[in-house]
């Protein structure tokens, strides 16, 4: 079992139309490790961006079961977890500021 580090806590930002509009309200979306807890997500976020966190909401997404049409095998997609991190509206994460014109 690997240690819980920043690399396995916050995996990648979620960049969609919905997440870009939420950034104006100070809500940033990230894919996080499935076993990551809210305090671990907060501490990893603070270490990465040096910005205080107001709140964290998490959502577990269960992987789908699909059938491969060629081989007729059942494919299980892995479970994922999304974190919606709220920061102060006045502060911005420059790396994720794709919505600027």
Return the domain boundaries, the chain: 6-87
Amino acid 64: pLDDT? 94
Model pLDDT for residues 50-78, shown as the tens digit of each residue = 999 999 999 999 999 999 888 889 999 99
> Residues in the chain, how many?
101
E strands within 14-62?
27-32, 55-61
Please, which pLDDT band fits residue 1 given cuts at 50, 70 and 90?
A: very low
Confidence (pTM): 0.82
Residue 26 has pLDDT above 50, yes or no: yes
Amino acid 41: pLDDT? 96
User: CA nearest 89: which of 45, 25, 36?
Assistant: 25
The two most distant CA atoms of the chain are separated, in Å, by: 53
Domain 6-87 top-level CATH class: alpha beta
The pairs formed by 48-52 with CB atoms below 8 angstroms and a separation of 24 or more are: 48/6, 48/10, 49/93, 51/87, 51/88, 51/91, 51/93, 52/87, 52/88
């Amino acid at each position: 079992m690997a240690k819980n580090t920043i690399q396995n806590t916050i995996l990648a930002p979620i960049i969609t139309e919905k997440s870009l509009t939420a950034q104006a309200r100070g809500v940033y979306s990230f894919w996080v490790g499935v076993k990551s807890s809210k305090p671990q997500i907060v501490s990893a976020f603070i270490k990465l961006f040096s910005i205080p966190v107001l709140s964290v909401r998490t959502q577990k997404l269960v992987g789908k079961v699909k059938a491969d049409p060629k081989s007729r095998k059942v494919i299980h997609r892995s479970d994922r977890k999304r974190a919606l991190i709220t920061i102060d509206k006045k502060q911005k994460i420059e790396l994720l500021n794709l919505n600027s014109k």
